[in-house]
């Protein structure tokens, strides 16, 4: 948990609390850590139910970004969702997080809406773009 919290706190102005991570684990959300050389460098958390997956958090340590780790984590989550019967995957992203937006678009996520004032931001709130990915026909890979 310490490594995940360190990555989270270094990556976001308004990070998730340790309690939020513990709650995600307690209720059984699908969670994975990416490691290089035995060291945690990223993580992903996803809830699944009623034929849908909701990607709640994907984050990679800043010094390890632009190496395909985030993409690999995201692809793994999508494969897992497809393997367990989900037909759609959803996530929210800050429009200001252009690297994440580009990644999600490159994988095939499509915008379907906006959640007004969804994220805490300096000086107020920031909207979230809601993205959808169809898992129909996705062949899950062993990961």
Is residue 29 domain-resident? yes
In terms of residue numbers, what domain contains 119? Answer: 2-134
pLDDT digits (tens, 9 = 90+) for 96-132: 999 999 999 999 999 999 999 999 999 999 999 999 9
Q: Indicate if the pLDDT at residue 140 is higher than 90.
A: no
d(CA 79, CA 140): 4
Active-site residue, selected from the candidate residues 52, 75, 88, 92: 92
The CATH number of whichever domain residue 9 belongs to comes to 3.40.630.30
Is residue 141 domain-resident? no
pTM value? Answer: 0.93
> Is 104 labeled as catalytic in the residue annotation?
yes
Active-site residue, selected from the candidate residues 90, 104, 119, 126: 104
Is residue 140 domain-resident? no
Is residue 88 domain-resident? yes
Number of domains in the chain: 1
d(CA 104, CA 115): 17
> Is 92 labeled as catalytic in the residue annotation?
yes
Q: What's the DSSP call for residue 14? A: S
pLDDT digits (tens, 9 = 90+) for 59-105: 999 999 999 999 999 999 999 999 999 999 999 999 999 999 999 99
């Amino acid at each position: 948990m310490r490594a995940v919290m360190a990555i989270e706190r270094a990556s976001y102005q308004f990070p998730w609390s340790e309690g939020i991570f513990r709650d995600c684990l307690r209720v059984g959300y699908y969670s994975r850590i990416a490691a290089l050389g035995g060291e945690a460098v990223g993580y992903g958390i996803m809830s699944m139910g009623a034929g849908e997956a909701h990607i709640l958090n994907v984050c990679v340590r800043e010094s390890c970004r632009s190496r395909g780790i985030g993409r690999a984590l995201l692809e793994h989550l999508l494969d897992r969702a497809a393997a367990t019967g989900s037909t759609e995957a959803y996530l929210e992203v800050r429009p200001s997080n252009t690297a994440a937006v580009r990644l999600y678009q490159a994988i095939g996520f499509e915008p379907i809406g906006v959640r007004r004032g969804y994220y805490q931001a300096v000086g107020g709130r920031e909207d979230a773009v809601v993205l959808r990915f169809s898992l129909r026909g996705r062949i899950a890979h062993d990961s």
